[in-house]
Chain A
Amino acid sequence: MTRTVKRTLKLLLTAAGLVVVYFLFDRLTHTGFQFHYALGWLLFACLLFLVCFNWRKKLNFLPIGKAAVWAQIHYYLGLFALGLLLLHIDTVWPNGWFERLLFVSLMISLFSGVIGLLASRIYPPVLVKRGPQVIYERIPRYRREVRQQVENLLTDTVRETKRTSLADFYEAKLEPFLLSQQNFLHHAIDSPRPAHFWRREFQAIRNYLSEGEQEALDQIEQLVQRKINLDLNAALYQIMRYWLLIHIPFSYLTLVLAMTHGIQIEQYS
């Protein structure tokens, strides 16, 4: 069975689950069963289980199932929870400020999760295609190495040719680029613009360089390509890692707010 078929089956199962819950709860309403109240607690149980995934990752020394299976349950249960939420609120914008806060928190948590999921599906093949891949923690070191190599090349070239055109180019344009991570947004959408920009810049300066300087420029161009790749790696890894900084705090906030909401309902309804 291919992954697409498996994915379709899981989606159908999630939708079927929602339909079953809707009709079952709706049917029970005639017997005095409080539809929205029950849905709310079911939704809370789902949220609690969704947050458990974070704990599963921390307790990786316990035999509590593969993280890959947990992740699959997390994705589809998240979708199921969205369906429950829409049923719970009757697809109407909440009217109280507390309920609005809870809704917004849940939405941020949900959509940051969707962004994280999409990033984890889209970016790894991009990194393979663009290659070579590097370990995220080593990127600052590689970046320093690239800058050092460019500076060494420039020092040698200026000493040999007694001309400073390349050094001036470096100071004006290359140095800021080599000093830090650049073009985050371009890399986030896998845009070729950074590469095009530097190709154009190199073409422009090439006309004014001697033969010796042009040879050095060829090597600098390769190093700049490496730096572009390092920036791409850094940007994509940052998105793939740091979406969790939004997702996890808002998930816990949602859980706390939902519990408060439940207690309020228990207390005052």
Chain B
Amino acid sequence: MTEDNTPTQIKRPKKWDHAFSAEMAPDQVASLLEREPFVSMVPPSGDSGTDAKAEKVRGKIQDILLNESRLLNFEKDEVIVRQGDYGATAYFIVSGNVSVLFNVDKSALGRGQAPQKSLWAHVKRVLSNPSTPEARDPEQYDPAGATEERLQQGVFLQDVPRVIAAQKYDPDEMGPGEIFGEIGALSRSIRSATIIATCKTQLLEIKWQGLRDLLQVSKPFRESVDRVYRERSLRSHLLSLDLFQKLPESALQALVDGAEFVSVGKRDWNTNAGDTTPIVNEGDYASALLILRSGFAKKTKAYGHSEYTISYLSKGDVFGLDEMLGAYQGANTGNSYQNGIAALGYTDMISLPGSLCDKHLFPHLEAEALGVHINKPTSGDPLEDTKKNQLMDFFVDERFINGTETMLINLDRCTGCDDCVRACATNHDNNPRFIRHGKQFENIMVANACMHCADPVCMIGCPTGAIHRSENGEVVINDTTCIGCQTCANSCPYDNIRMVEIRDQKGHYILDEQMRPINKATKCDLCYDNPVSPACQNACPHDALRRVNLADEEAIKDWLK
């Protein structure tokens, strides 16, 4: 018997091979283009020059909607998005109305589970793994075989009157032509509110890549989204912080109206990961309360001729509260910032001027909260606990603070047995999704494994949306829609995404029409759909490997003991 050595050939994957929905038809798109907001996106036609331009824009929008969007129908009280979930899509309201709710009891939202494989399906997959690494079924890349990925979940909010009565403010209503979900989709962050349909509603769900392309195509649309983004983001962001949750409506509105947006550094910070830009210098007059909306900043204290890092600030952290409360209560120490902060790469902040806080924020804070902040120590001694301080510098300087599931290896315990590597390979196409190697501080190694970043910059340039967040927040890659362009691998500042050449089940490389190998991006997915999650941590017999959130200092300290 002779072995079949014919290589498997497929069409080189490209953008829009797999439309978001196979059911999106050109006539549906044509009908949408007659409605708001799409009709306003096309420049008005007049002479032949503007006609041609209008037609070009129309064509682009048509392509985007055909490939990057889909129509969804919701019944009354059906949950559309849940606060706290990650989402890479935004929604245009085609018909019907939706209501915006905050802090709805999670049990009422019917939160879905991660798409976990059954134990049997998992065992079957592992046992039928071909012996060669990175083997795939070539048929999954056939565009004709594309199937609808999302099923209508049909979760309904129970006891709506009670939920609405429990809302602190009257829920906002939105109607046809309006857009929602764009904040979470564009900023790679969690949904800031729960949205439910208030009647039979049709929505156009659009992937963030499509939304980004629409923003590039149409200036008026870009301006309107920017305006809405600023308004909604500010209000919902303030409401998500403990400090503002007990404010009366008038005070909150006054703060929203008087707040300023401050952005420091570049948003695509992965290209200049080493940059720090001072935001506030220690000793400056404490004129405003600063709240981080996104990005990271390091909090420093002067010592000798230099300064040291006390801690770092991330989304939702507040800076300057102690000083401003001190001033409000007439304390002598409260007139200048006790520490400095500098943006790590880039930082977006909300600045609330002192006069505004004195009038609308501090009078509403409870005495207990005031005491906590006033008595909080703001300085330390870098020589008192040198290991802790140097470790903090290491995490901050290398930008590891971005990680929410960072793989730390305690080298004082690691014997190099590679059980973790084998466990990962067993669960992932016979090829481990990390390298047991990485930057080191004394006995702590940050291994080259995806950290499932708070700000996943790898997602920024993906043309197909293959790299995305799962509902539970893991950053994962959809192998079917990945076109192997390497954008994510090049964007990851930590080198944690690897390109692999894929094979068929016989072990032959899968090639395109020009006989070039097909590449796919691979990375740690935290075994999000496996019953053993994460396999690396479970497999370590010496408890030398942990996936940790670097913000959780206590957990790290306990483990290192």
Interface on A for B, CB 8 Å cutoff?
2-3, 57, 60-63, 66-68, 70-71, 119-120, 123-125, 127-128, 131-133, 135-136, 237, 240-241
- Please measure, in the bound complex, the distance between the C-alpha atom of A180 and the C-alpha atom of B422, giving whole angstroms: 28
Smallest CB gap from A120: residue in B:
B415
Q: Which of A60, A68, A125, A240 contacts B417 (CB 8 A)?
A: A240
Smallest CB gap from B424: residue in A:
A60
Pair B411/A68 contact, Cβ less than 8 Å = no
Pair B436/A135 contact, Cβ less than 8 Å = yes
**Using a CB-CB cutoff of 8 Å, which residues 391-433 of chain B contact chain A?**
411-417, 419, 422-423, 426-427
**Which residues does chain A contribute within 8 Å of B76, judged by CB atoms?**
none
Q: Which of A62, A124, A128 contacts B123 (CB 8 A)?
A: A62
Top 5 closest pairs, chain A to chain B, by CB: A71-B541, A60-B423, A68-B543, A67-B541, A240-B415
Known: A3-B561, A68-B542, A133-B411. A60 touches B419 (CB 8 A): yes
- Please measure, in the bound complex, the distance between the C-alpha atom of A62 and the C-alpha atom of B120, giving whole angstroms: 10
Interface on B for A, CB 8 Å cutoff?
119, 122-123, 126, 411-417, 419, 422-423, 426-427, 436-437, 440, 442-443, 530-532, 535, 537-544, 561
Pair B122/A61 contact, Cβ less than 8 Å = yes
Least distance between A65 CB and chain B CB atoms (Å): 8
Smallest CB gap from A125: residue in B:
B412
**Which residues does chain B contribute within 8 Å of A124, judged by CB atoms?**
411-415, 544
- Please measure, in the bound complex, the distance between the C-alpha atom of A124 and the C-alpha atom of B415, giving whole angstroms: 6
**Which residues does chain A contribute within 8 Å of B126, judged by CB atoms?**
61
**Which residues does chain A contribute within 8 Å of B537, judged by CB atoms?**
66
Pair A123/B415 contact, Cβ less than 8 Å = yes
Least distance between B407 CB and chain A CB atoms (Å): 15
Least distance between B431 CB and chain A CB atoms (Å): 15
- Please measure, in the bound complex, the distance between the C-alpha atom of A61 and the C-alpha atom of B540, giving whole angstroms: 13
**Which residues does chain A contribute within 8 Å of B426, judged by CB atoms?**
60-61
- Please measure, in the bound complex, the distance between the C-alpha atom of A119 and the C-alpha atom of B532, giving whole angstroms: 29
A/B interface sample: 22 pairs, CB < 8 A: A3-B561, A57-B541, A60-B419, A60-B423, A60-B426, A60-B532, A60-B535, A61-B123, A61-B532, A67-B419, A68-B541, A68-B542, A68-B543, A120-B415, A124-B412, A124-B413, A128-B442, A135-B436, A240-B416, A241-B415, A241-B416, A241-B417
Q: Which of A61, A127, A131, A136 has the most CB of B within 10 A?
A: A61
Secondary structure at the A interface, as helix, strand, loop or mixed, is helix
Pair B539/A60 contact, Cβ less than 8 Å = yes
Q: Which of B416, B437, B443, B541 contacts A70 (CB 8 A)?
A: B541
**Which residues does chain A contribute within 8 Å of B411, judged by CB atoms?**
124, 127-128, 133
Smallest CB gap from B410: residue in A:
A124
- Please measure, in the bound complex, the distance between the C-alpha atom of A124 and the C-alpha atom of B423, giving whole angstroms: 21
Known: A63-B532, A125-B443. A237 touches B416 (CB 8 A): yes
Q: Which of B126, B412, B415, B442 has the most CB of A within 10 A?
A: B415
Least distance between B265 CB and chain A CB atoms (Å): 33
**Which residues does chain B contribute within 8 Å of A237, judged by CB atoms?**
416
Smallest CB gap from A66: residue in B:
B538
Known: A2-B561, A124-B411. A63 touches B542 (CB 8 A): no
Least distance between A41 CB and chain B CB atoms (Å): 28
Smallest CB gap from A61: residue in B:
B126
Q: Which of A62, A70, A135 contacts B532 (CB 8 A)?
A: A62
Q: Which of A67, A119, A131, A136 has the most CB of B within 10 A?
A: A67
Not counting A60-B426, A67-B419, a sample of 19 additional A-B residue pairs whose C-beta atoms are within 8 angstroms of each other reads: A57-B419, A57-B541, A60-B419, A60-B422, A61-B123, A61-B532, A62-B123, A63-B119, A63-B531, A63-B532, A67-B538, A67-B541, A71-B542, A124-B413, A124-B544, A128-B442, A132-B440, A241-B415, A241-B417
- Please measure, in the bound complex, the distance between the C-alpha atom of A202 and the C-alpha atom of B541, giving whole angstroms: 43
Known: A62-B532, A125-B412. A68 touches B422 (CB 8 A): no
**Which residues does chain B contribute within 8 Å of A120, judged by CB atoms?**
415, 542
Q: Which of B119, B417, B436 has the most CB of A within 10 A?
A: B417
**Which residues does chain B contribute within 8 Å of A136, judged by CB atoms?**
416
- Please measure, in the bound complex, the distance between the C-alpha atom of A70 and the C-alpha atom of B414, giving whole angstroms: 16
Q: Which of B414, B419, B530, B543 contacts A61 (CB 8 A)?
A: B530
- Please measure, in the bound complex, the distance between the C-alpha atom of A133 and the C-alpha atom of B415, giving whole angstroms: 11
**Which residues does chain A contribute within 8 Å of B119, judged by CB atoms?**
62-63
Least distance between B239 CB and chain A CB atoms (Å): 39
Known: A57-B419, A62-B123, A241-B417. A128 touches B412 (CB 8 A): yes
**Which residues does chain B contribute within 8 Å of A3, judged by CB atoms?**
561
Smallest CB gap from A131: residue in B:
B440
**Which residues does chain A contribute within 8 Å of B540, judged by CB atoms?**
67-68
- Please measure, in the bound complex, the distance between the C-alpha atom of A3 and the C-alpha atom of B544, giving whole angstroms: 13
Least distance between B538 CB and chain A CB atoms (Å): 5
- Please measure, in the bound complex, the distance between the C-alpha atom of A63 and the C-alpha atom of B123, giving whole angstroms: 10
Q: Which of B419, B437, B538 has the most CB of A within 10 A?
A: B538
- Please measure, in the bound complex, the distance between the C-alpha atom of A237 and the C-alpha atom of B411, giving whole angstroms: 13
**Which residues does chain B contribute within 8 Å of A125, judged by CB atoms?**
412, 443
Known: A3-B561, A67-B419, A128-B442. A60 touches B538 (CB 8 A): yes
**Which residues does chain B contribute within 8 Å of A132, judged by CB atoms?**
440
- Please measure, in the bound complex, the distance between the C-alpha atom of A131 and the C-alpha atom of B440, giving whole angstroms: 10
- Please measure, in the bound complex, the distance between the C-alpha atom of A61 and the C-alpha atom of B123, giving whole angstroms: 7
Q: Which of A2, A3, A60 has the most CB of B within 10 A?
A: A60
Smallest CB gap from B422: residue in A:
A60
**Which residues does chain A contribute within 8 Å of B443, judged by CB atoms?**
125, 128
**Which residues does chain A contribute within 8 Å of B542, judged by CB atoms?**
68, 71, 120
Smallest CB gap from B538: residue in A:
A66
Least distance between B40 CB and chain A CB atoms (Å): 53
Smallest CB gap from B437: residue in A:
A135
**Which residues does chain B contribute within 8 Å of A70, judged by CB atoms?**
541
Q: Which of B126, B539, B544 has the most CB of A within 10 A?
A: B539
Smallest CB gap from A138: residue in B:
B437
**Which residues does chain B contribute within 8 Å of A2, judged by CB atoms?**
561
Q: Which of B123, B416, B436, B535 has the most CB of A within 10 A?
A: B416
Q: Which of A67, A127, A128, A133 contacts B539 (CB 8 A)?
A: A67
**Which residues does chain B contribute within 8 Å of A135, judged by CB atoms?**
416, 436-437
**Which residues does chain A contribute within 8 Å of B535, judged by CB atoms?**
60-61
- Please measure, in the bound complex, the distance between the C-alpha atom of A237 and the C-alpha atom of B531, giving whole angstroms: 32
**Which residues does chain A contribute within 8 Å of B122, judged by CB atoms?**
61
**Which residues does chain B contribute within 8 Å of A63, judged by CB atoms?**
119, 531-532
**Which residues does chain A contribute within 8 Å of B417, judged by CB atoms?**
240-241
